[in-house]
Structure 1
Amino acid sequence: MSWRKEQRRAERGYHHGNLKEALLQAALGLIAEKGAAGFTFADAARMAGVSPAAPYRHFRDRDELLSSIAQRGFEQFEAALNAAWDDGRPDTLSAFERVGKAYLKFAREEPAFYSAMFESGLSIDINPALHAAGERAFGIIRAAAERLAALAPPGVARPPALMMALHIWSMSHGIASLFARGDGARRKLPMTAEDLLEAEVLIYLRGLGFSTERRKAPEDQKPAGSPSGPWGARST
């Protein structure tokens, strides 16, 4: 969502008496424009069209305002990951792949929330509700890793499921932060961010002894221009 749209939403929210929502939307607009560290409490008040003292009715300071935005972001993030995971249906690897794509999609479509969640410099312990929201979102990645761990070939050494979840989270987050953002911090990449994540996860799982090959559809059933290779990865 663009900064100007956020500004209009903030103004509408305050006009109807919802000062707290107006301040949240104003701060989101400022984050989209300047980053999570690029605005002050007074800037948010000015953007919402209220006096510098007005925000104190709802937020103790700028950090509390940011933590509220980050909490809302993690709640939306959790919902997106949970919908993608869909309890591992129709199979664990397909569902796991969807979770990775959902991670990248969130970073691309909600860059202001993403910045507040991961780049604000806030301690996640500043707000118990924020901490819980972050844990629930990570819990989906952990559940997926536990399901994958249960499929590990017998006799093959592998890290604990929690460590697998942290490894895969790190890969997803690194690619999202560098290549899948919806703001000016996105780096150029000679492939899609989804292809890059797919390849990294494929290499990781193969290293743990997982079989990642999928049945290939008959050539005459493939849509024109369909990518080929395991997990739909494009061959090079």
Structure 2
Amino acid sequence: MPKRGYHHGNLKQALVDAALGLIETKGPQGFTLSEAAKAAGVTPAAVYRHFQGREDLIAEIARQGFEIFADLMEYAYEKGQPSALASFESTCRAYLAFARKNPGHYQAMFESGLSVNRTAELAAAAARARDVLEKAAAELSEHIPPGKRPPSQMVSAHIWAMSHGVVELYARGTPGGRTPFPAEDLLETGIGIYLRGLGLLPPDA
């Protein structure tokens, strides 16, 4: 009886899909290549046709995750046009939505300890996702007087950090994740406070 990984003709993707399931249950450092091979229905030796080690497999998962993430961010950005504020807020909400819908990819991307520069393909995918938020931040920052305008990369980095913190602490059931407020509300109010500090939103009445 042929191995399941070979049967559908795409062993590499079968290993990625198997590893995604393991990451979701055990974390990016909690499984072995042998376990991924077993879950994919192939022998451990077959893994090395595509991946030299577990980190190479995780890097491919992270690359695919960043491609999905970038597509979602671009869609969110376009959805908010022509309003710079709406586009910016939409991309921020997309971050949280991605983390919830793609927990395995998210962990491979941000919790595996893997450098985004491990491969050129991974670096390019990560840069595409980052560029969307930086573009949204740059458009929004045009409403700030030049002398008071922070670099758009700094604005996007602040928002990225805030989004990541909300995901890690309040959106994924991790320790410290109990809060009486929905993660979406925490992120929205946090971004609102930040934007008011920049003078991009009117103060609360």
- Of 153, 156, 172, 1:162 maps to 153
- Of 191, 202, 212, 2:192 maps to 202
CA deviation profile, 1:140-170 (whole Å, cap 9, x unmatched): 1100110111011x37623211111111111
Taking structure 2 as the reference length, the TM-score comes to 0.91
Matched, 1:193 2:183: yes
1:10-89 map, 5 Å: 13-86=5-78, 88-89=80-81
Tell me how far 1:53 sits from its aligned partner.
Answer: 0.7
RMSD: 2.0
Unaligned runs of 5+ in 1: 1-10, 214-228, 231-236
CA deviation profile, 1:2-33 (whole Å, cap 9, x unmatched): xxxxxxxxx85543232111111110010011
How many residues were matched structurally?
202
Provide the residue aligned with 1:179 in structure 2. Answer: 170
Identity %: 50
Instruction: Look at both structures and tell me which one has the larger radius of gyration over its CA atoms.
Output: 1
Contact 1:156-1:208 at 8 Å conserved across structures? no
Partners of 2:202 and 2:95 lie apart in 1 by 21
Unaligned runs of 5+ in 2: none
CA deviation profile, 1:25-58 (whole Å, cap 9, x unmatched): 1100100110011011111111112111110011
Contact 1:168-1:201 at 8 Å conserved across structures? yes
Partners of 1:87 and 1:46 lie apart in 2 by 42
Taking structure 1 as the reference length, the TM-score comes to 0.80
